[in-house]
Chains A and B, each alone.
Chain A
Amino acid sequence: MTPRRTTVYLAVGLLFFGFLGAIGNAQETSGSVKAVQLTGLKGVKDNTKGTLSVESGNLHFVHGKENSDVSATSIQDVVTGGDSRESVGKTVGIMGMAAPYGGGRVLSLFRTKIDTLTVEYRDPDGGLHGVIFTMSAGAADAIKKGLVAQGAHTSATGEPTAVPSPSSTSPNKEENQ
């Protein structure tokens, strides 16, 4: 194989993978993402899995046959953060603990990075609610940008900031990213 032909194959390969990456990114920014609602969403149990998206001015969470909406304009703060979780499932992790010589603990070393999305919003009576979602790494920023574009406020610098209520100011937000 001549060096010229190798270069052509390499270029075509790079173009192909670049194209796939672009499609993936486009889906991430415009579409919905799989997420886990850790706590806070009214009428939804803690640790509920579902799909999160920003649709017609709302943060839209679909879980099973039900869905929950939070109006973007009622959101007074949206913050993203990072965390990690075990790559193996909960059951496998617990069963692994029974493995002899602490062998199961090796499983704990394999962890997946995740994003957290924390949303604070006011209900019609003015009551403050907080919701925490986790999702795959890199997905939270797209949701946050979508929410800010729809009128949500954020305490992060360089973005439109809500008038801080005396009880909800937190100077350290966005620093854990």
Chain B
Amino acid sequence: MKRFPSPGIWLSVFALLFAAGPLLARKNQSAKIKVAAIQVEMIQSDEIKLPAEFQVALYENLIHQLEKQGFSHVYRDGDRNAASVADLVVLRSTVRGFKAGSEKARQVTTVSGATSITVHCQFTRPDGTSLLERDVNGKVRFFGGNLRATYDFAKKAANVAHENFSSPTGE
């Protein structure tokens, strides 16, 4: 005859499971780098031929998404106010891959015409010390114009920033 564990043991197992979640979350939180502000530099595309509207859309969407993620101070490229900020993180983005799709092909075939863009994101201190580097891609497969790939990239890049850096007010 099988012996089932007593209710007390079951209770302690559940209590451990419930306690582990917040504890792990707190551990992740403590691993975040505290930053006072983030400065976004203009997207570089020296090696890859990128239309100007894509470059600007990547930059603007990235700023919007970072603000949406709770970074209270997001400075733009060249903003003089950022120079006096302590604990500033600079985000440098370089386009590593770009495939210009076709909205028409996407709508007609639904299997071809995807637009994709791969950007190397480098989070550094103002002196150039690297804090985090990650390749982030943006895609548009089915619906929307080609520029929607820039929105997809910005959302993912802002998530990377949110997972690794904490802003004093926005967290």
Contacts and interface: CB of A to CB of B under 8 A. Distances in A.
A173 B104 contact: no
Contacts of B52: 77, 79, 81, 118, 170, 173-174, 176
Given A39-B61, A127-B76, A120 B56 contact: yes
Given A125-B80, A126-B78, A131-B56, A172 B45 contact: yes
Nearest to A40: B60
Q: Which 8 A-B pairs have the closest CB atoms?
A: A130-B56, A127-B76, A108-B107, A127-B79, A128-B77, A79-B52, A172-B49, A118-B52
A38 B80 contact: no
B80 A39 contact: no
Interface in B5-48: 41-42, 44-46
B77 A167 contact: yes
Nearest to B143: A94
A99 B57 CA distance: 33
B59 interface: yes
Contacts of A83: 53, 145-146
A165 interface: yes
Contacts of B53: 38, 79, 81, 83, 116, 118, 132
Contacts of A168: 42, 77
Contacts of A132: 53, 56-57, 60, 147
B78 A165 contact: yes
Contact of B104 (A109, A127, A165, A167): A109
Interface of A: 38-40, 77, 79, 81, 83-86, 93, 105, 108-109, 111, 116, 118, 120, 122-123, 125-132, 165, 167-176
Nearest to B76: A127
Interface string B50-79: 111101110111000000000000011111
A14 to B, nearest CB: 35
A12 to B, nearest CB: 41
Given A111-B104, A168-B42, A127 B77 contact: yes
Contacts of B147: 38, 132
A39 B60 contact: yes
Contacts of A39: 56-57, 60-61
Nearest to B80: A126
Contacts of B104: 84, 108-109, 111
